[in-house]
Amino acid sequence: MRIPILKLHDCLLISIQWELDDATALQFQEDLLHKIHETSANGVVIDLTSIEIIDSFIAKVLGDVINMSKLMGAKVVITGIQPAVAITLVELGITLSDVMTAIDLEKGLEKLQKELGD
Amino acid sequence: MRIPILKLHDCLLISIQWELDDATALQFQEDLLHKIHETSANGVVIDLTSIEIIDSFIAKVLGDVINMSKLMGAKVVITGIQPAVAITLVELGITLSDVMTAIDLEKGLEKLQKELGD
């Protein structure tokens, strides 16, 4: 199963609405990087509102995909991080310190478009 | 497996990126109606760009979900219908005659927001 990636103007939107298994997470990483390449997207919003827990493997994949997207020239905003997910990320040492975050998808998209100068 | 439904302002965005099996299609129908109720969304964009074939059951579910969404007060735009899908829909007698359509997600969202007077 794959996670759908929506293209809206020059941004990609992804809403992760269920706990990912390892294979889906890796597939998502690959799909997102291909989609950035294919669409020349400048920004990516990953919405985690519906994710209530995250394990260390998924947290690592998420950290990796953010860094990879940046290398490819896309700005990343993570939205809707739940308290338990924030706790897990920090405890795992994944502080996402140089990643933009926002409370929800709308705010994330606004932030990204401002940043991209739209 | 469920299809993620993204909320953006007062619209819901859904991108169907793989062929649906019957159970997923029915689950999607239920999820979408619940989400319309929960978020009081005024509009729904269903993007079918990645769908290259459609069978009669899925076509019926799609026709139904459009009518149900309308009954609940949400305007529906279908985007990215591929040639083969258009042929199947018309051959099955599902002309979606009173549904707005658009070539892609951006155009569909624009059309919807114009219609909703944003």
In this structure, what CATH number is given to the domain that contains residue B90? 3.30.750.24
The residue among B2, B6, B7 with the most chain A CBs within 10 A of its CB, best to mutate, is B6
Task: Look at residue A104 in the predicted model and tell me its pLDDT.
Answer: 92
Could you tell me if residue B117 is inside a domain?
no
The residue among A6, A27, A45 with the most chain B CBs within 10 A of its CB, best to mutate, is A6
Q: Which residues of chain B lie closer than 8 angstroms to A1, CB-CB?
A: 1
Could you tell me if residue A1 is inside a domain?
no
Highest mean pLDDT among B57-61, B76-80, B89-93: B76-80
Could you tell me if residue A42 is inside a domain?
yes
Q: Does B23 touch chain A (CB under 8 A)?
A: no
Residues A49 and A26: their CA atoms lie apart, in Å, by 20
Instruction: Indicate the burial class of A40 (C-beta count within 10 angstroms; 0-12, 13-18, 19 or more).
Output: exposed
Q: What is the number of structural domains in chain B?
A: 1
Q: How far apart are the first and last CA of chain A?
A: 34
Average pLDDT, chain B: 91
How far is the CA of A115 from the CAs of A9, A108, B6, B79, in angstroms? 14, 10, 22, 28
What is the distance in angstroms between the Cα of B105 and the nearest Cα belonging to chain A? 7
On the question of pLDDT at B19 being above 90, the answer is no
Could you tell me if residue B82 is inside a domain?
yes
Residue range B94-98: mean pLDDT, rounded: 79
Could you tell me if residue B63 is inside a domain?
yes
Could you tell me if residue B118 is inside a domain?
no
Specify the pTM. Answer: 0.88
What is the distance in angstroms between the Cα of A11 and the nearest Cα belonging to chain B? 11
User: Cα angle at B1 between B95 and A4, to 5 degrees?
Assistant: 70
Q: Which residues contact A25 (CB under 8 A, 6 or more apart)?
A: A57, A58, A61, A62
Domain that holds residue A100: 6-112
Could you tell me if residue B40 is inside a domain?
yes
**Phi and psi of B77, rounded to 5°?**
-120, 130
Amino acid identity for residue A105 in this structure: L
Q: Does A13 touch chain B (CB under 8 A)?
A: yes
On the question of pLDDT at B63 being above 80, the answer is yes
Q: What is the pLDDT of residues A46-102, one digit of tens each?
A: 999 989 999 889 988 998 999 999 999 999 999 999 999 999 888 888 877 778 999
Nearest-Cα residue of chain A relative to residue B14: A6
Chain centre distance of CA A57: 15
Is A5's CB within 8 Å of B17's CB? yes
Could you tell me if residue A13 is inside a domain?
yes
What is the distance in angstroms between the Cα of B72 and the nearest Cα belonging to chain A? 23
Q: What is the ipTM of this complex?
A: 0.81
